[in-house]
Chains A and B, each alone.
Chain A
Amino acid sequence: MTGFGIVGGGPVIPNFGQGSTCEKNGGWFCTEWVREHWGDTLQPALVQHIELTVIAISVGFAVASLLALVGFRWRFVDPPLGAFSDFLYAIPSLALFQLLVPFTGLTVTTVEIALISYTLFILYRNMIAGLRGVPAETLEVARGMGLTRVQTFFRVELPLAAPVVLGGLRIATVSTISIATVAAFVIPKGLGEPILTGLQESFGTEILAASLLAIFLGLAADGLIALFQRRVTPWSRLT
C-alpha cells in the first residue's frame, strides 16, 4: 500500500512515512484511508470476491443438482453421496488448500475446488430433503390422476422442493462469501487479500473495511435470494 498515501500535516513520525493523521496515530478506523483506497484496493477485491462466489455457487449448484438427481432416483446411492459431501465439508479449508496446491498450484482452480466442495454439502442435503419432503398423499394423488413419473417430478416434486432448495442456496451463498476470504492464502484475490494485508501490517482499518464489505455482501446476497424465493414460491409463506 506504500506510495499512495497522502502526506498529512502534523508531526512526522519516522519510518511511518505516508498516510493520514489518523493512520499515523493508529486510529481504529480511518475513513480517509477507505476513501483513498476504495478504487485501488477495496473495490477490486469486492469484485473478485463476487466472482469467486458466483463461480463456486453456480458450479456447486450444478454439481449438487446432478448428484441429487442420482441420489433421489436411486435411493441406495444417497447415503454414500451424503457421507461424501459431509466429509468434504468437514475438511478444514486451510488444510484442503494445502492438499490441493501440489496438484493445481496457487491458482483460482485450487480455491474454487475448495469452495465448491463446501457448497455441495448444504446444497445436496437440502435438495434431497426438499424432494423427499413432498407429502406422500400429494404424490399418491398425482399418480392416481395419471401424471407420469417425469410429469410428477417436474410439476410436483421439483416445485414443492423449491423453498428448501432455495433455503439451502441462501445458506451456501452466505457461507461461501465468508469462507472465500480464506482464498487469500492461495491467491491475492477477494476480500481476504486486504484482510490478510491488514493483519500483516497490523492495520485495523483495512481489516475492518474489508470485513464489513464481506458482511455487507453476504447480507445483500441473502436478501436477494430471499426476495427471489418469495417471488417464485409465493405459496410457501402460507403453509
Chain B
Amino acid sequence: MPSEAAELVFDEATKVYPGRDGAAVDHLSLTVPAGEICVLVGPSGGGKTTALKLVNRLIPLTSGYIRIDGRQIGDYDVTELRRSIGYVIQQVGLFPHITVEGNIGTVPRLLGWDRKRIRKRTGELLELVGLDPEKDRRRFPAELSGGQRQRVGLARALAANPALMLMDEPFGAIDPIVRSRLQDEFLRLQQEIRKTVVFVTHDVDEAIKVGDRIAILREGGRLAQYDTPMQILEHPVDEFVADFVGRDRALKALALRTLGELELASPPGSADGLPRLPAETNLRDALALLVAEHREALLVVGTDGSPLGVATREDLLR
C-alpha cells in the first residue's frame, strides 16, 4: 500500500530570524522529483537544518513558498502536514518510556488506526529495517544499541507511510562502520519504498553516497549548486563548491563508477596472472588495488567468475 511519493518544490524559500543579520535560508529554489533523495550539504551556518525544518513547519517561512505535490505547505493543517511527513533526527528522540512497538505506532495511533493494523505494520517495519519483529518489539529504547535505535527511528518515521521523509543527519551520531552499513541498508530500503527524501548532512562523502541530487548550501543559506553527485564532482560551478567537495574530488568521482561501466579490452590469452575483480567494484577501489600491487592491469569478472575483459590503469583514469 505504498502511497505515492511526493514532489517537493522550494520556491524562493527564505528564512530570516528576527534580530539576526542576514538570512538563514536565502531565496532557495529547487525541485526534488518524486522518489528521489535530495541531500542538503554545506558548512555550518549554511542553513541546511533550517531549510529542512521549513518543510514540516517546525520553523515558519519568512517569505517564498514550499509546495508538496503542488500544494503549499501553509495550506495544510499543521498537525496533518507533520503526520504525513516522516521525520528523523540525529539524536533519534525515541520516547524512552514506551517500547519499540509503541514508538513505531505513535503516528498510526494518532491517526486512529486499529490495534491489529498497527501491530501488523510494526512487524513489517521492524523486518524492513533489519530488526527482529518478535524479540525487539517489546524492548525499551534503553535496551538498544545506537544503530538499533536509529533503525527504530527510521521505522517510526515510515510508520504511516509518508510520501515525504525529512532526515536531519540521521547517521551523524553513529560510529563509522555502523554508519556505512546503515547507509547501505537505507539505500537498499529506498530501492523498495521510493520515498521522496530530504537528507541533511555535513559529510560530503555521505552526500555523494546517498544523494540522487546534492544541494550545496553556502554561508547565509544560499544555494551554490544543485546537481547530481557526478556533475558536482566533475563540474563544480565555482571555487567554493570545488573546495567543499575536496581536493580528492577526482577520486570521489571514481568511486561513483564501476568496472562494469568501462569499455573493456577483450581478455588476452595471457590474462591468467592478472588480479581479478568483480564488475561491480568501483573504480577507486580498483585503482587502489593496482597501486598497492604495482600492477598495470586487472581482469574484470562477472558474478559467475567468467572473465569479461581487461582494464588498465589508463582505462580507469580516462
List residues of B (142-177) whose CB comes within 8 Å of A's CBs.
142-143, 156, 166
A146 touches B79 (CB 8 A): yes
With contacts A137-B89, A137-B91, A159-B97 known, is A151 near B110, CB below 8 A? yes
Q: In this assembly, does A39 line the interface, its C-beta being within 8 Å of a C-beta of chain B?
A: no
With contacts A160-B96, A160-B97, A235-B96 known, is A147 near B89, CB below 8 A? no
Would you give the shortest CB distance from A161 to chain B, in whole angstroms?
Answer: 10
Would you give the shortest CB distance from A134 to chain B, in whole angstroms?
Answer: 10
Report A-chain residues with C-beta under 8 Å of the C-beta of B56.
144
Residue in A155, A162, A234 with the greatest tally of chain B CB atoms within 10 Å: A155
Q: In this assembly, does B107 line the interface, its C-beta being within 8 Å of a C-beta of chain A?
A: yes
Report B-chain residues with C-beta under 8 Å of the C-beta of A142.
93, 95
Residue in B81, B92, B93 with the greatest tally of chain A CB atoms within 10 Å: B93
Number of A-B contacts (CB under 8 A): 69
With contacts A146-B110, A235-B97 known, is A137 near B92, CB below 8 A? yes
Report the count of interface residues on A (CB-CB < 8 A): 24
B79 touches A148 (CB 8 A): yes
With contacts A145-B82, A145-B87, A146-B81 known, is A140 near B93, CB below 8 A? yes
Tell me if A's interface is mostly helix, strand, loop or mixed: helix
A141 touches B97 (CB 8 A): no
B96 touches A145 (CB 8 A): no
List residues of A (208-239) whose CB comes within 8 Å of B's CBs.
233-236, 238-239
Tell me the bound Cα distance from A151 to B111 in angstroms.
13
Would you give the shortest CB distance from B51 to chain A, in whole angstroms?
Answer: 15
B97 touches A233 (CB 8 A): yes
Report B-chain residues with C-beta under 8 Å of the C-beta of A137.
89, 91-93
Report the count of interface residues on B (CB-CB < 8 A): 28
Q: In this assembly, does B27 line the interface, its C-beta being within 8 Å of a C-beta of chain A?
A: no
Q: Mark B56-85, 1 if CB is under 8 A from A, else 0.
A: 101000000000000000000011111110
Report B-chain residues with C-beta under 8 Å of the C-beta of A140.
58, 89, 93
Set A144, A159, A238: member contacting B87, Cβ < 8 A = A144
Q: Which residue of A lies closest to B81 (CB)?
A: A146
Tell me the bound Cα distance from A236 to B143 in angstroms.
11
Q: In this assembly, does B140 line the interface, its C-beta being within 8 Å of a C-beta of chain A?
A: yes
Q: Mark A140-180, 1 if CB is under 8 A from B, else 0.
A: 11111111100100011001101000000000000000000
Q: In this assembly, does B258 line the interface, its C-beta being within 8 Å of a C-beta of chain A?
A: no
Would you give the shortest CB distance from A150 to chain B, in whole angstroms?
Answer: 11
B140 touches A238 (CB 8 A): yes
Q: In this assembly, does A102 line the interface, its C-beta being within 8 Å of a C-beta of chain B?
A: no
Set B81, B98, B142: member contacting A238, Cβ < 8 A = B142
Contact surface of A with B, Cβ cutoff 8 Å? 135, 137-138, 140-148, 151, 155-156, 159-160, 162, 233-236, 238-239
Q: List 18 A-B contacts (CB under 8 A).
A: A137-B93, A138-B93, A138-B94, A143-B58, A144-B82, A144-B89, A144-B166, A146-B83, A146-B110, A147-B110, A151-B110, A155-B95, A159-B98, A160-B96, A235-B97, A235-B141, A235-B142, A236-B97
Contact surface of B with A, Cβ cutoff 8 Å? 56, 58, 78-84, 87, 89, 91-98, 106-107, 110, 140-143, 156, 166
Q: Apart from A144-B58, A235-B142, A239-B142, what 20 extra A-B contacts exist at CB < 8 Å?
A: A135-B91, A137-B92, A138-B94, A140-B58, A140-B89, A140-B93, A141-B87, A142-B95, A144-B56, A144-B89, A144-B166, A145-B110, A146-B80, A146-B83, A160-B95, A160-B96, A234-B140, A235-B97, A235-B141, A238-B142
